[in-house]
Structure 1
Amino acid sequence: MEGTSLCVPIIIVLMQCCPSLPVTVSTNKPKVEVHEFSDAVLSCMFRTERDQNPRIEWKKKGKDVSFVYFDGHFRGPFEGRASIEGATVTLRRVTQEDAGEYRCEISAPFDSVNLGETNVTLRVLVPPNTPSCEIPSSAVTGSTVQLRCRDQQSIPPATYAWYKDNQLMIPLRHANATYLINTHTGVLEFKAVAKADSGRYSCRASNGVGKPMMCEGRHMTIEDVNITAVVVAVVVVCLVVLVCGCGGFLMHRNGFFAPGHRGRSFWISECHGAAHISSQNLNRTEDTSNVNYIPPPQEPQDFKHTQSFML
């Protein structure tokens, strides 16, 4: 009995000396990556000091913090497609809308430190879609030409490879390369295309998630410049400009554009003469019409007996 009575105070003293552990929250996978339309497990583990029934909450960060799990129920878009075991949440058939940063909060009111939290980042991977390709149908030799390939929906971003006539084009790194390929932007650039660059081009997008995708191939034709036609056109234009310039200079030199030029005065006098003749003809017509005009007899306004009739 004496031994037992001595142990109790010792145990009490030890309990008072040993520091108690407040609520702690952790996760074994802070970054989660899953394919689109698969399930995502967001782990959350906790330990409390005294409280055996702590409150569990999950929130999603963004422009506004929204509840995922609160008061024993899933909220919003997670209702009906998520489950919880302990404090670990499983989201089913995740999409890009579900990607983001989540926070697990454990509240233990009876602990000395009554709140703990941990964060989990969810990344939803999307395989490539068919990339959109911009391939010109024709170009002129010696010109700079760019072919573009882009897939804006793949996560992580896709890398690109170009094919000519179903043969992979190897990216060239030396200074004398006739073309350059940017595998990150999907741009294939020819510094100066040649006839040999004619062919059918296509592009493949891949990001390590799912199957790589290719756009439909298109044919690009490289045509030579018709030097003869260009020279003839330039010569004709120069001759036309020269003839017009010389003609204008000669006309100006001879005073054709001067204010008192004979031709200009002649046309002005002719116009005045024509206007004068027209005015005389108009007056003559009016006079003739006035001479030949005989007004009709006026009928009496009121009927009056001028003679009496006797029966």
Structure 2
Amino acid sequence: MEGTSMCVPLLLLLLQCCPSLPVSVSTNKPRVEVHEFSDAELSCMFRTERDQNPRIEWKKRGKDVSFVYFDGQFRGAFEGRASIEGATVKLRRVTQEDAGEYRCEISAPLDSVNLGETNVTLRVLVPPNTPSCQIPSAAVTGSAVQLRCRDQQSIPPATYSWYKDNQLISLTRHANATYLINSHTGVLEFKAVAKEDSGRYSCLASNGVGKPKMCEGKHMTIEDVNVTAVVVAVIVVCLLVMVCGCGGFLLHRNGFFSRHRGRSFWISECHGAAHISRQNLNRTEDTSNVNYIPPPQEPQDFKHTQSFML
């Protein structure tokens, strides 16, 4: 009995001397990746020192910090489409708007360390959409040509492969190859196209999420340069320039572009036309009216007559 009575005080002393652990928070999956429109689980596990009813909060970090779960309720866009068990949250039918970094906070006012937190990053995966392809319909031999392929919405970003006449174009560039493919940017580049590069081209986008998507194929024709037509066109243009230049020089030399000559010519022409019109008018009046009255004299003639009479 004495031994038993001695053990009880020793046990109580040991319990008082051993410190209990303060609040601690952790997650078993700090990075979560799910497909779009599927469910996502954000795990949060905690342990407290004394507080048996700690406060649980979830927040989403972005440009601003917003509440996901606060005061026992889900907030904003998560209301009605999320549930919580312990401190672990389950989101239903996630979209790109749900992607981001979340923080689980556990507040235990009765503990010596009364606040703990852990972070979970949610990434929403999006399969490829049909890529946008830019394929020229025609090009001239020897010219540089770029074919472009791009999908802006796939997550993770898509990689691209090109097909010619439904045959995969190898990414491995041989010594005599005239093209270069960048599988990350989707650019198929020809340094100098040749006739044999003519064909129907299409591009395939894939990112490991869902099925790859291919754009509609388009035919590209490589045409030879008509050297004879180019030479003839250059000769004709040169001849026209020479003829126009010589003609302008001769006209300028003969005074056709002289300002004084042009003015005198138009003045004499106008006076001649006026004189002829006056004669025709007088002749018409002579034949149509017997009592012909001569037209009044011009002001300068009238002044001259008046000075003569004086």
| TM-score computed with the length of structure 2 as normaliser | 0.86
1:35 is matched with 35
- State the one-letter code of the partner of 2:208: G
Q: Distance in 1 between matches of 2:292 and 2:16?
A: 145
1:120 is matched with 120
1:154 is matched with 154
Q: Distance in 1 between matches of 2:206 and 2:46?
A: 40
Superposition deviation, residue 53 in structure 1: 1.2
Alignment of 1:115-264 (within 5 A): 115-173=115-173, 176-261=176-261
Checking the alignment, whether the CA contact within 8 Å between 2:131 and 2:151 is kept in structure 1 is yes
174-183 or 120-129, which moves further after superposition?
174-183
Gaps of 5+ in 1: 294-311
2:272 is matched with 273
Superposition deviation, residue 225 in structure 1: 1.3
Q: Distance in 2 between matches of 1:280 and 1:8?
A: 152
Look up the SS of the partner of 1:274 in the other structure: helix
Superposition deviation, residue 282 in structure 1: 7.8
Superposition deviation, residue 171 in structure 1: 2.0
Relative to structure 1, the CA distance from residue 143 to residue 9 in structure 2 (aligned partners, 3 Å threshold; closer, same or farther) is same
Superposition deviation, residue 278 in structure 1: 4.8
Q: Distance in 1 between matches of 2:196 and 2:243?
A: 43
Superposition deviation, residue 158 in structure 1: 0.2
| TM-score computed with the length of structure 1 as normaliser | 0.85
Alignment of 1:51-62 (within 5 A): 51-62=51-62
1:90 is matched with 90
2:297 is matched with none
Checking the alignment, whether the CA contact within 8 Å between 1:39 and 1:92 is kept in structure 2 is yes
1:301 is matched with none
Q: Distance in 2 between matches of 1:111 and 1:285?
A: 128
1:44 is matched with 44
1:304 is matched with none
Gaps of 5+ in 2: 294-310
Checking the alignment, whether the CA contact within 8 Å between 1:172 and 1:179 is kept in structure 2 is no
Relative to structure 1, the CA distance from residue 271 to residue 20 in structure 2 (aligned partners, 3 Å threshold; closer, same or farther) is same
Look up the SS of the partner of 2:171 in the other structure: coil
Checking the alignment, whether the CA contact within 8 Å between 2:173 and 2:179 is kept in structure 1 is no
Superposition deviation, residue 85 in structure 1: 1.2
> What count of residue pairs does the alignment treat as equivalent?
291
- State the one-letter code of the partner of 1:80: G
Q: Distance in 1 between matches of 2:85 and 2:260?
A: 107
- State the one-letter code of the partner of 2:253: R
Superposition deviation, residue 274 in structure 1: 2.4
- State the one-letter code of the partner of 1:269: S
Q: Distance in 2 between matches of 1:14 and 1:234?
A: 106
Superposition deviation, residue 153 in structure 1: 0.6
Q: Deviations over 1:54-77 (max 9, x none)?
A: 111111111221211122222222
Q: Distance in 1 between matches of 2:265 and 2:53?
A: 116
1-10 or 186-195, which moves further after superposition?
1-10
Q: Distance in 2 between matches of 1:205 and 1:115?
A: 47
Checking the alignment, whether the CA contact within 8 Å between 1:141 and 1:222 is kept in structure 2 is yes
Identity of aligned residues (%): 86
Aligned CA RMSD, in angstroms, stands at 2.6
Q: Distance in 2 between matches of 1:272 and 1:29?
A: 105
2:66 is matched with 66
